[in-house]
Amino acid sequence: MSRVTKPPRIPSYRLHRPSGQAVVTLSGRDVYLGPHGTDESHAAYEREVAEWLANGRRHSMPDDAEGGMSVNELVLAYWRHVEVYYVKGGAPSSEQCLIRSALRRFRGLYGDMVVGEVTPRELKTVRHLMIEEGLSRPTVNGYVSRIVACFRWGVEECLVPTTVLEGLRAVRGLRRGRSQARETAPIRPVAVEVVEATLPLLPAVVAAMVRVQLFTGMRPGEVCAMTTGELDMRGDVWVYVPREHKNAHHGLGRAIPIGPKARKELAAYVRTDLGAPIFQPDNRRGRRRAGLGYTTQSYGRAIKRVCDEAGLPRWTPNQLRHTRATEVRREFGLDAAGAVLGHAKLETTQVYAERALEVAKDVARRSG
């Protein structure tokens, strides 16, 4: 009895989850068909499969992805990745806002362009418009890097030809003093006298945040995100160990000693909910849901508003860290200032980190 030969299987129409695109795999290569579930993507599937069958189950696609989707479609697919990847403490990180701003500028000009046709010319045009917009050189460089990162992700997902990414990577960052982009002034310390004049005018919780920063040198984001569960309250010097911080992605730890002055400010706000932000806005006006802490933006706005109303010089929470550094450097020396601020290089050893923490604790005990 002769064996019945089954007809060759027809590759199926599928969903590519990272991009939301419909996809079919032909001869081991993914062919993207447009947004999944649309009539257009089903028609593209029928066409691609028919051409593939007519060509003897072969196709003439090049080694790289063809990059047939538009920039708008790529950005939409990448944004799904961004929403999952750039999360801090269960909430969208500030990086999401920066990525959105960068991509908005690029797709605003070239959204309908096929990604496979994007060249350094388009990237440099968008960069020039950013400079004309008055953005600072570091901001422009950061936005350009985020645009390139979108295309790099597209290459990883076989949505963008590698040649496109190679071209975009050839665009060098703007160098200080060698471009028309605005340079930023370095962050200066704010005078303690100005801070003291501002404090009585601030909401009590914001005033406490300012004092904690002034006594510890922690970053604005760290004081906003601090929770009771991150505090080691044993001993005369507490230690705040943020789960998320500037160098966390490098695997570096961060420990912030909290001396008696800062501890006194914190005592009234320590919460029984170990995961809730310690400092939360007054909710009597109902503008924010209970349990939500300050963001660095809302914290800064609270200070700016009071300064403007009182006719005081404007200052920002970032300046408090520099004020603390100046005071510690004057009283205890440069190494002590570095230890208090948690300055770290990637090659810093564990032994050095432990010694630095002891120095920082001693400074906190005596002046924080």
Q: What range defines the domain where residue 37 resides? A: 14-54
The Cα-based distances of 142 to 95, 108, 116 in angstroms read 11, 18, 23
In a domain, 175, yes or no: no
Nearest to 278 by CA among 291, 262, 261, 260: 291
Pair 227, 354 in one domain: yes
Domain end, chosen from 125, 154, 169, is at 169
201/278 same-domain check = yes
Q: What per-residue confidence (pLDDT) applies to 197?
A: 95
> What local confidence, expressed as pLDDT, does residue 64 receive?
39
- Please give the radius of gyration of the chain, using alpha carbons only, rounded to the nearest integer: 27
- The pLDDT value given to residue 152: 96
Q: How many domains does the chain have?
A: 3
**Does residue 50 sit in the same domain as residue 21?**
yes
Domain membership of residue 305 (yes or no) is yes
Q: Per the domain annotation, does 174 fall within a domain?
A: no
Q: Tell whether 247 and 356 lie within a shared domain.
A: yes
pTM score of the predicted model: 0.59
Contact 352, 346 (CB under 8 A): no
CATH number of 130's domain: 1.10.150
pLDDT of residue 352: 42
Residues 6+ apart with CB under 8 A from 356: 338, 339
Integer CA distances (angstroms), 183 to 135, 168, 314, 322, 356, in order: 9, 24, 20, 20, 33
DSSP 3-state assignment of 243?
A: coil
- CATH number for 317: 1.10.443.10
In this structure, the answer to whether residues 152 and 284 fall within a common structural domain is no
Helix segments in 229-349, DSSP class H: 260-267, 296-310, 317-332, 334-341
154 in the same domain as 20: no
The answer as to whether 327 is a domain residue is yes
**Residues of the chain below pLDDT 70:** 1-7, 58-67, 89-91, 244-253, 283-291, 343-357, 359, 361, 368
Whether 116 and 236 map to the same domain: the answer is no
**Of 107, 135, 169, the domain-final residue:** 169
Phi and psi, residue 237, nearest 5° = -120, 115
Residue 119 covered by a domain: yes
CB atoms within 10 A of CB 71: 25
Beta-carbon count within 10 A of 61 CB: 15
> Is the same domain home to 161 and 212?
no
